[in-house]
Structure 1
Amino acid sequence: MFDGTSIDTQALEGSLQRAHQHSATIRELLAKQIAFTESGRLPRAAFFNSLCLHELDYEAAAGFSGEKHALLRQVVTEQKAATQSWSDCSMVTTIMYNIVVSSNSNHRLNLKRRSFAALSPKIDGLATKKTPSSSDRKIFRIARATPCDENTPREKELQEQLFTALRKMAGIRKKRQIFAKVYDFACCVCAGIHPKAQSFLLSRWDNLKQKENYGANLKIKLKLTPRSWLPYAQQPIIKPHPN
């Protein structure tokens, strides 16, 4: 499912073992090779499934165990060490966390996807490890795709879907900048998605917003003045009442 990105299952297992030596089940985490490393592609639907913007039904009653904290800490550490535009983006952290969870084949660990709403406060208060050295094994091996100036239909669809998802979310600031960062990360994990200049992505957000606002204004006009848009022959005939 991934293009240019894979997860080192042994590195993940080792990281969690060091944090929780008492848990024998952690040693079995992701023991099998992850499915998406075999196909090398992440479909757009899987990407947005990992984005997980809205709170899930089970999250209110679900706890967040030590192994989950260890996994989240490792993900954030590697995210920051990547020194990319998305390295400080909590939404990207959510995607990375859920990608690993979705790859888990050991159901005894009971790892479940978490929403951005649930992970965000944990990410903000997380004390991450120091930047890993070049000799440390990492969970993620990320390679950026080749830049491409052309905005392909596949890229346009992802941009439009991401724009719509972010616009519907309340309580999030700087959505325009987040849009650019999340798209930039998508270039690292989604097949057929290529890097764009930040100026292009910010302009793309503005264009999509303008298009959305124009459509909304047009609907309002149609609703307020329905008769003026009907052909003359179809407009109702109003006869005067006799005195």
Structure 2
Amino acid sequence: MIELAEKRWKSCIEKIEYAFQPIVNIHTGNAFAFEALLRNYREAGFESIDELFDQAWQEDVLHHVDLELRKKALEKFAEYKQGRRIKLFYNLDNRLLCSSDYEPGQTIYALEKFGYCLEDLCFEISEKHDISLTSSSIKTLSNYRSQGFKIAVDDCGTGFSGFQTLYYAEPDYIKIDRFFIQNMENDPKKRLLVATIVNMAHFMGSLVMAEGVETVDELTSCRNIGCDMVQGFFCPEANSEY
């Protein structure tokens, strides 16, 4: 890629690594998927993950940088996946949806190279960045869906655009932010809000994932309210990254 010919970005990407955290079926205790978590950003020269993507956005190479990181995550996860039908959840910076260097169809080549099916990859769309859902960004989301990729809305309940993101993304999965899960068993307001999100998600045909589950009481509360999946340090199948 011309945009990544600069040695600095190539060097940064080479230093980045990924860890994978399980997303567990709350009823069976089996791993349904793994989320790719970016690591070694300090070794790559950034104080935070956000700073890395902010810099790529400012230099107008966000999509190309993300695509190279995407390939790296796919390659590493393929070593663990080894033909098993488990999904990879990959965080997508919202700004990529309206990035000027966006080029459709690039991910499919990487999937084929490393032996994935389209349904094996789920893009997580966070509400972290306040982007306008323009016709261009909506078209990009629709393009991902039409190609067969799964879509998840991350950090549900804490972002800028709220229900607007759910409306346009038509997500297969909705991930409830850790804030609402923490100490939920002792907080009636949190239980009400989580139950409302669960009911709405199921009405829309989406599965619900609770993020940051760290205690048995939180796990029990999530199960009682109707969450489908859990993710965090307290999981029936695994409690650590790899």
Of structures 1 and 2, the one scoring higher in RCO (CA 8 A, sep 6+) is 1
Q: Report which of the two structures shows the higher radius of gyration computed on alpha carbons.
A: 1
TM-score (norm 1): 0.28
Q: Which has the higher strand share?
A: 2
Question: Please, what TM-score do these two structures have when normalized by structure 2?
Answer: 0.28
